[in-house]
Amino acid sequence: MLADAFARPIEYLRVSVTDKCNLRCIYCMPEHGLEWLSNDDILTYEEIARIVDAAASLGVRTIRLTGGEPLLRPHLELLVAMIARIPGIEDIALSTNGLLLEGHIEALAGAGLRRVNISLDTLRPERFEEIARRPGLDRVLRAINAAISLKLTPVKINCVVMRGRNDDEVEAFAQLSQRLPVAVRFIEAMPVLEYAHAQREEYVSADELFARLKRIGGLRPVEGPSGNGPARYFTFPGAAGTIGVITPLSHEYCSRCNRIRLTADGRLRLCLFGDYHADLRTPLRGGASRARLAEIIERSMLIKPERHHLRLGEPASRMRALSEIGG
């Protein structure tokens, strides 16, 4: 089993297949976007599969495809099928904003996709456009229903809670878990990019969330669904789904970190917040064998930090997607 210097087992690899996104969420990305990677810098599906194969040889068992928005890459089901054939890989999941999911979900499920995480910060169309700077709530809701129909359950819905923007919908999101087989996960807003200043005023702590959820009645802790990552889970009596809370600031979860991240340009990131990384693209394109790639991955565990150093209102490194936090 792959482990870091703090004896944490590492069995989860998040793979960013693109840095581009079709939304401009206010807490995640400037309205004008970012300076995108060139196509030559981005790993091909075959290159990604080779790195996953090396990671699987070390004990990595779960793969999550992320972005940016991963469905902007054409024919993503081809990559899913490649990964599904790799010995040792037991679970393949997808993190998406849901806008393009409905049209691709059957092909993805047929190729071996088992689970989806869908980012959704509001249930109101006009507010969706305010937060995402793009329309599309109807498409996201159809994608959730399609995922449920194909039994990619529990569908995880990631909601970043922001005071004065969507915190008045916490109860409505919680009620989704009562009638649908979904895991609604509330995420504390984090200080990334230009949002760092606003985060001080819009931050809602997990303790405040819990106090509001408990007023609905009967909330009790439960074991999380497959691939539960950093969230703690709860449920209401008789509910079809669960409630999760992801708390990077108020209740740090670094001691349970079990993941590493492959960027779209082939860097192995050892922590979401910070620039601890190992270059895999250069040796890969230089002809490195699976054993050599596995050696680099294993040695990189020596620089995986014990914890992140996020502080309320202080900018973190320039990350391209807050959705990366949802496990």
Residue 125: asked if its preceding bond is cis (omega within 30°), the reply is no
Least confident of 39-48, 167-176, 243-252: 243-252
Query: What letter would DSSP give residue 33?
Result: -
The CATH number assigned to the domain holding 141 equals 3.20.20.70
Name the domain count of the chain.
1
Strand ranges for 1-108 from DSSP E: 12-16, 62-66, 91-96
At residue 315, the pLDDT reads 46
Query: In angstroms, rounded to a whole number, what is the distance separating the alpha carbons of residues 133 and 231?
Result: 27
Q: Which pLDDT band, with edges at 50, 70 and 90, does 135 fall under?
A: very high
Residue in the structure block whose two tokens are 């793979």: 15
Strands of 277-279's sheet in order across:
220-222, 232-235, 242-246, 182-188, 155-161, 115-119, 91-96, 62-66, 12-16, 259-262, 267-269, 277-279
| This prediction's pTM | 0.89
**Of the given ranges (3-12, 179-188, 246-255, 290-299), which has the lowest mean pLDDT?**
246-255
| Across 229-256, average pLDDT | 80
How much is the pLDDT for 18?
Answer: 97
23 assigned to some structural domain: yes
Confidence check: pLDDT of 60 > 50: yes
* End-to-end alpha carbon distance in the chain: 20
The pLDDT, as a whole number, for residue 307 is 72
pLDDT in tens, 250-275: 556 676 788 899 999 999 998 876 67
- Kindly state whether residue 6 falls inside one of the protein's structural domains: no
Q: Say what the pLDDT of residue 126 is.
A: 97
Q: Is the model's pLDDT at 301 over the cut of 80?
A: yes
User: Residue 174 belongs to what domain range?
Assistant: 12-319
Q: Looking at per-residue confidence, does 311 or 14 come out higher?
A: 14
Mean pLDDT of 222-250: 80
pLDDT in the model for residue 175: 93
Q: How far apart are CA 325 and CA 167, in angstroms?
A: 19
Q: Which of 36-40, 56-60, 95-99, 221-225 has the lowest mean pLDDT?
A: 221-225
In a domain, 7, yes or no: no
What percent of the chain lies above the pLDDT cut of 70?
Answer: 87
What pLDDT was estimated at residue 308? 63
**pLDDT of the residue at 248:** 60
Q: How confident is the model at residue 326 (pLDDT cuts 50, 70, 90)?
A: very low
Confidence of residue 202 (pLDDT cuts 50, 70, 90): confident
Whether 188 is covered by a domain: the verdict is: yes
**Domain membership flag for residue 115:** yes
pLDDT of residue 90: 97
**Lowest-confidence region among 2-16, 47-61, 206-220, 289-303:** 206-220
Check residues 57 and 311 and name the one with the higher pLDDT.
57
**H or E element, residue 306:** none
Per the model's pLDDT, the better-predicted residue between 254 and 11 turns out to be: 11
- Pick the residue with more confidence: 152 or 205? 152
pLDDT at 303 over 70: yes
Query: Is 243 inside a domain boundary?
Result: yes
pLDDT band for position 116 (cuts 50, 70, 90): very high
More confident call, 103 vs 327: 103
In a domain, 325, yes or no: no
pLDDT band, residue 203 (cuts 50/70/90): confident
